[in-house]
């Protein structure tokens, strides 16, 4: 009997979107302690773009399948797994890669059961984008009522998540965005700042009479982080959670530990610089927060912005869309086109 097949996307060499290839292979069986998930939706992140184009120490070696967040249905339960059944709807954060596939084998401890009524493309935004936003806002910055916050990339996947969670928390919000996305940023409850034509440091100081209490920065890079620190008031907090500024091939990647040590030694007036933790190292907290976020989605308290639902086999086109910058929210791969 011919073994069943499945398709996944593979990066066989570093390069542009054309480096993404569709391969057909034998369907894998879950190892003990794992479940096999039939993927309904997989998120695309800036990290995927970077790993496809460049090599980073400690990150996946070629060939690999990108994708850090998935939503799907448990297909097969491996030996030793308790509390999960075939047919249950689940979400999972995969670490660095693996999501661009029709089926994925995942450690049972890393999946969270979700409602069968949720839209898969909307639900997958909770797994990485809203999870990152929640941790940055409530676990790292520990925002308080009426804090003034500046969100860089306010129209992006994590940026829109931050603004929606910030609105629920009653924050005074400002966000950098390109001019075409200012209306969106405004509808999410923030005052937009045109980062291309305005000096965001001077602008936020003027708007807040001294600077923000918190700056959320997904861009990174020494110059960007230093400018973000200057947008803070005395005692403010800078939270760095991404490396979008390293997507350009000419950008120099500096380890987070070195950047943080440099900033901590330079920031005056009680300002602080912080990064978000690796949540998979704290499985109980990761599962608790993701379950909470899925509850917000089910209750209609957050409305994820899905820029486009792209068939899995057209992943290269999805990467081109993201690199064009002409989108807002999150681009999602779907297996049921």
Percent of the chain with pLDDT over 70: 93
The answer to whether residues 318 and 44 touch, using CB atoms and an 8 Å cutoff, is yes
Name the CATH architecture for the domain at 5-113+305-334: Alpha-Beta Complex (3.90)
For domain 128-275, the question of CATH label 3.40.50.720 is answered with yes
- Which pLDDT score is estimated for 291? 97
Q: How far is CA 56 from the centre of its chain?
A: 18
- Which pLDDT score is estimated for 265? 58
Domain ranges of the chain: 5-113+305-334, 128-275
The answer to whether residues 185 and 163 touch, using CB atoms and an 8 Å cutoff, is yes
H helices, E strands: number in the chain? 10, 15
251 has a pLDDT exceeding 50: no
Which candidate, 91, 162, 163, 99, places its Cα nearest to that of 124? 91
What is the maximum span of the chain, computed from C-alpha positions, in angstroms? Answer: 72
The answer to whether residues 151 and 159 touch, using CB atoms and an 8 Å cutoff, is yes
Residue 61's SS3 state is coil
Q: pLDDT-based confidence at 216, cuts 50/70/90? A: very high
Q: What are phi and psi of 279, to 5 degrees?
A: -70, -25
Q: pLDDT-based confidence at 136, cuts 50/70/90? A: very high
The answer to whether residues 199 and 177 touch, using CB atoms and an 8 Å cutoff, is no
Residues forming a β-bridge with 232: 212
């Amino acid at each position: 009997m011919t073994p069943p097949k499945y398709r996944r996307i593979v990066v066989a060499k570093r390069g542009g979107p054309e480096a993404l290839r569709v391969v057909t292979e034998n369907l894998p069986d879950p190892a003990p302690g794992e479940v096999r998930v039939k993927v309904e939706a997989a998120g695309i992140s800036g990290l995927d773009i970077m790993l496809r184009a460049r090599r980073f120490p400690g990150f996946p070696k070629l060939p690999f399948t990108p994708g850090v967040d998935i939503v799907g249905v448990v297909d097969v339960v491996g030996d030793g797994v308790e509390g999960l059944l075939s047919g249950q709807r689940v979400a999972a954060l995969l670490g660095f890669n693996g999501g661009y596939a029709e089926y994925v084998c995942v450690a049972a401890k890393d999946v969270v059961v979700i409602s069968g009524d949720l839209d898969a493309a909307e639900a997958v935004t909770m797994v990485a984008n809203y999870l990152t936003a929640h941790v940055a806002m409530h676990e790292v910055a520990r925002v308080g009522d009426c804090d003034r916050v500046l969100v860089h990339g306010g129209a992006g996947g994590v940026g829109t998540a931050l603004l929606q969670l910030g609105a629920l928390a009653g924050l005074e919000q400002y966000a950098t965005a390109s001019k075409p996305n200012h209306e969106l940023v405004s509808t999410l409850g923030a005052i937009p700042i045109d980062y291309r034509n305005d000096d965001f440091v001077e602008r936020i100081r003027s708007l807040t009479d001294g600077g923000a209490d918190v700056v959320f920065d997904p861009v990174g890079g020494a110059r960007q982080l230093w400018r973000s620190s200057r947008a803070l008031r005395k005692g403010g907090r800078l939270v760095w959670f991404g490396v979008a500024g390293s997507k350009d091939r000419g950008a120099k990647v500096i380890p987070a530990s070195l950047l943080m040590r440099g900033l901590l030694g330079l920031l005056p007036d009680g300002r602080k610089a912080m990064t978000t933790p690796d949540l998979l190292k704290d499985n109980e907290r990761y599962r608790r927060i993701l379950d909470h976020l899925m509850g917000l989605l089910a209750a209609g308290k957050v409305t994820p912005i899905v820029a486009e639902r792209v068939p899995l086999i057209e992943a290269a086109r999805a990467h081109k869309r993201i690199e064009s910058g002409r989108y807002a929210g999150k681009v999602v791969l779907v297996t049921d086109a």
